[in-house]
Structure 1
């Protein structure tokens, strides 16, 4: 895992880069968030491929649990990927509602993520 630093208006943003799944459980997300926060980052960018596919099945409640932690600890998060492959209307609505706020966004590109954060 590599952390690539981005900066916007003096705010440090961590982009997590890996070829592996990094977040499989809520505990993985908490560990990553703590690590990022400890290193002085205020916001995080994750790639869809680094999150277990179970996250995108809302029946598992994993997405809700993980995103609640990001909100609770005030760590803004952008998840970059192609979410059009998911056919679940519930997931599409979840992404739509998340994107209305400032805390968690599902976006298609790094430029969108940096502009949103």
Structure 2
């Protein structure tokens, strides 16, 4: 499957292919943002496509990527199990909790959880061990 635009509820989402290229640079994030300009309001990126630096907050890569999405008024949903990462970092656990309480960046188990969040306006289902 290639990255594709889908309707989840009433929201247009760019659903990124889990086998797609890694998001390892700010330019990679900007490329996803550019692809979303085909009409998407949310970009759903599989966690496995994010470079490992994204989950090590000291690198500041996560902050740079997330800020790009906020600047371009797009929501970012990191989709998948980030259990291993959150077990290793209390700071990442806090970021996941804080992000999931907001409206711009979410960490969710799967696309069903994203659709539930978008359609019901409910709090997201936390990732496997984000809490």
Q: Give the structure-1-normalised TM-score.
A: 0.89
Checking the alignment, whether the CA contact within 8 Å between 1:21 and 1:51 is kept in structure 2 is: no
Taking a change above 3 Å as real, the CA distance of residues 5 and 69 of structure 1, as seen in their structure-2 partners, is same
Shift of 1:22: 2.5
Mapped partners of 1:27, 1:55: distance in 2: 14
Residue number in structure 2 paired with 1:111: 112
Aligned residue for 1:24, secondary structure, equals: coil
Q: Structure 2 regions of 5+ residues with no counterpart?
A: 119-131
Aligned residue for 1:17, secondary structure, equals: coil
Structure 1 runs (4+) greater than 6 angstroms displaced: none
Residue number in structure 2 paired with 1:33: 33
Mapped partners of 1:12, 1:65: distance in 2: 24
Mapped partners of 1:20, 1:42: distance in 2: 20
Mapped partners of 1:76, 1:25: distance in 2: 18
Residue number in structure 1 paired with 2:51: 52
Q: Give the structure-2-normalised TM-score.
A: 0.81
- Counterparts of 1:58-69 in structure 2, within 5 Å, are 58-69=57-68
Aligned residue for 2:76, secondary structure, equals: strand
Shift of 1:20: 4.3
Mapped partners of 1:6, 1:27: distance in 2: 23
Shift of 1:111: 0.6
Residue number in structure 1 paired with 2:122: none
Mapped partners of 2:9, 2:111: distance in 1: 17
Structure with more strand by fraction: 1
Shift of 1:21: 4.0
